[in-house]
A and B are shown apart, each in its own frame.
Chain A
């Protein structure tokens, strides 16, 4: 099960970048996709940025992962599928711009 984690670039550092996502800040290897500006979204796996993605995609992925976590704990997840039930998707609190910078 190849789960990728969306993360946002906080501080580029050559072929690495400090990024933040649901597990907090991590130093992410950017070799595959090249340097990305502050605020850019990437999908990471095993500490490596696999692809650059837009914010809408990042939000949807993040909400899907949040739903997985809640489902594993047996909690309700419907509020996380806004786009699939005709509502505007919203960024989770901890990933809102400015929230963790």
Chain B
């Protein structure tokens, strides 16, 4: 999040990573997070519609994913199944947001890591395309209504928005199923992403940060509902595990079976190079995934909703940073309890992929920078500072 300042409060969250050096290597990795995992308490006691209106105001930076997960949780609790055209439209908005977020990493963060200028025009073009898509689906206003908003898809406009997105993302496409193709793309140095990949490879960092932490599996709905229900003090939300194991979520976890990523992981593990490539592979696949969804769209006014139902619901979406889960308990049209399990809590878990990936890394002048590259690859949604603690200073 924002900043460096003395004030406390829900918004002033950050993650502090300390690498304790022992015998020339990173020993213990400590990760302190002040992220407000219980911020969603703000929705308790509010009408369902109010909570859905508030979601994108509070969580404004990945507002589509947050709203989508919240909507899905509320519908699950109310016993509503979104009609296929509504589900398709929401998925299109989510994919566009994910492409935009990945593109921001590649055009804002990565140039800066290379000491280059951010490509602001390219960022604006992708943002505009995502906004055009929204207008092409729900021209009359909100889509985040239980049962769905007033969907009036303009197929031509949606197709044009996807084409614009595709054009903007084309330079990041890596053609091929083997790591050789990735290295050729990197050495072309045609984009900041390629130049960062080339720098990582040239500096011998392709395998930096590889970890044995496995991808977050599908979570059984009933079991997850029970685990979250029992989490009265927020301990699970802050340090989640599944069947006793810590997991990774996000593009590298999702793209693990893609041939190019699988081959890269075979050669270099799931280190910096494979993670960077996974983000690009996922991003450049978005336009085609979006085109495949288009035929499902049709005019739809939303399903009728009986909001007096009582119960609990789970909504899970794959956001840019990883699996985002919302859980809601409703009764009498009101939210009784609201929980959010966010991807950052998996990836920045004390025994998660960042901590395990950094343990054992060679100490030296490049350590803090290399660790920062791994932090960026795992993409926390708040500011994350890395400090190297030398012996005697712990």
A26 touches B2 (CB 8 A): yes
With A1-B35, A2-B381 as contacts: A68 and B2 at CB distance below 8 Å: no
Task: Name the residue of chain A whose CB is nearest to the CB of B320.
Answer: A2
With the chains together, A2 CA to B54 CA distance in Å? 13
Max count, chain B CB within 10 A of own CB: residue among A1, A48, A72, A81: A1
**Size category of the binding interface on chain B:** 35 or more
With the chains together, A44 CA to B13 CA distance in Å? 13
B123 touches A81 (CB 8 A): no
B3 touches A26 (CB 8 A): yes
Residues of B258-300 whose CB lies within 8 A of A = none
With A3-B60, A61-B60 as contacts: A71 and B1 at CB distance below 8 Å: no
A71 touches B5 (CB 8 A): no
Task: Name the residue of chain B whose CB is nearest to the CB of A85.
Answer: B50
With A23-B12, A44-B2 as contacts: A1 and B344 at CB distance below 8 Å: yes
- B138 sits at the interface (CB 8 A): no
Task: Name the residue of chain B whose CB is nearest to the CB of A1.
Answer: B342
A32 touches B123 (CB 8 A): yes
Q: CB within 8 A of B66: which of A2, A5, A72?
A: A2
Report A19 CB to chain B, min CB distance, Å: 10
Q: Which residues of B have CB within 8 Å of A21?
A: 2
Q: CB within 8 A of A72: which of B10, B54, B117?
A: B10
A23 touches B7 (CB 8 A): yes
With A2-B381, A34-B120, A84-B50 as contacts: A23 and B59 at CB distance below 8 Å: no
- A40 sits at the interface (CB 8 A): no
- B215 sits at the interface (CB 8 A): no
Report B380 CB to chain A, min CB distance, Å: 9
Report B100 CB to chain A, min CB distance, Å: 11
Q: Which residues of B have CB within 8 Å of A81?
A: 46, 50, 54
A69 touches B10 (CB 8 A): yes
- A24 sits at the interface (CB 8 A): yes
Q: CB within 8 A of B2: which of A23, A31, A64, A67?
A: A23
- A37 sits at the interface (CB 8 A): no
Report B229 CB to chain A, min CB distance, Å: 20
Binds A, one of B37-45, B170-178, B364-372: B37-45
What are 26 A-B pairs at a CB distance below 8 A?
Answer: A1-B37, A1-B39, A1-B66, A1-B381, A3-B58, A3-B382, A5-B3, A22-B11, A23-B2, A23-B3, A31-B108, A31-B117, A31-B120, A32-B108, A32-B118, A43-B61, A46-B383, A48-B108, A64-B54, A64-B58, A67-B42, A68-B11, A68-B58, A71-B41, A72-B39, A81-B46
Give 11 A-B pairs besides A2-B381, A5-B3 with Cβ atoms closer than 8 angstroms.
A3-B11, A5-B2, A24-B7, A32-B108, A32-B120, A43-B60, A45-B61, A47-B3, A65-B58, A67-B54, A71-B41
* B binding-site residues for A, Cβ under 8 Å: 1-3, 5, 7, 9-13, 35-39, 41-42, 44, 46, 50, 53-54, 57-62, 66, 108, 117-118, 120, 123, 340, 342, 344, 381-383
